[in-house]
Copies of this chain bind each other. A is one copy, B any other.
């Protein structure tokens, strides 16, 4: 029913359909996951995704067979940061309750403001402005932040601010994130279940203290990073299912995240 509360949203949705972009149709699954390959964007210091062929072709028995082995850093491509990634004693990736990874979501779109500013940080004012239109974010919501940088994937130069690897690359990172005080608002006042973003990190690229991570994760709130296709979702009426690889004792890992427009 919520879809009919906001006539302007329906207008946007119709316009989007006509342009073959914008919000997905109700009842349709939208895959918010980039595929993992040697093109996937990883943090400059992280082991990138590598697929090794174990077998590929026809066997002596006559049937076709293919199988591969892969190596990857937990924190590359579309992935989850478990609370333990930045908060000692908090949950590992295999310990996050399913109820925290599945549920109603909202999309806060700051792409206009971040367009010409790769240092943009989603602010408390952005959240309150969104709430003026759609109502206060409910406890247990999954909050997705759309900066528009998803449009640059997988061009690291534009998406991360640099294609350089190693420490040299880290020094040149430039992409939007969530301001640390806004992270605290979402964690403490709104008691959200998780926060996702269409950039490589919930902290902006120039962060030196990763305070948005710390402020969320000390409250056992995970972050979803490199989330794809946020331009396909409306601001409200979204249901998210975010299932990470179940690594025992992991600090994160590949995330398959999908959404349904309701």
Contact A73:B63 (CB < 8 A) given known A35-B248, A37-B248: no
Residues 218-262 of A, flagged 1 when their CB comes within 8 A of B and 0 if not, give 000000000000000000000001011111111111101010000
Tell which of A31, A46, A66, A214 has the most Cβ of chain B within 10 Å: A66
- The complex places the Cα of A30 from the Cα of B243 at a distance, in Å, of 13
8 Å CB contact of A85 from B58, B66, B94, B241:
B66
Contact A51:B250 (CB < 8 A) given known A69-B74, A86-B63: yes
**Interface residue? A4 (CB, 8 A):** no
Residues from chain B with a CB closer than 8 A to the CB of A245 are: 36, 245, 254, 256
Are A70 and B247 in contact, CB atoms less than 8 angstroms apart? yes
Stoichiometry, as copies per complex, reads 2
Tell which of A29, A73, A245, A251 has the most Cβ of chain B within 10 Å: A245
What residue of chain B has the Cβ atom nearest to residue A71's Cβ? Answer: B71
Residues from chain B with a CB closer than 8 A to the CB of A88 are: 58, 64
Interface size on A, residues (CB 8 A): 55
A38: shortest Cβ distance to chain B, in Å?
Answer: 9
- The complex places the Cα of A75 from the Cα of B69 at a distance, in Å, of 8
Closest 6 interchain pairs by CB?
A243-B256, A37-B248, A64-B88, A35-B248, A29-B98, A71-B71
Can you give 20 A-B contacts (C-beta < 8 A)?
Answer: A29-B98, A29-B102, A31-B246, A33-B246, A34-B246, A36-B247, A46-B54, A47-B54, A51-B247, A51-B249, A61-B209, A63-B209, A64-B87, A67-B75, A69-B72, A69-B74, A70-B74, A98-B258, A241-B243, A246-B256
Besides A34-B246, A70-B250, A241-B241, 7 other CB < 8 A contacts? A29-B98, A63-B209, A68-B247, A68-B250, A70-B247, A98-B258, A246-B256
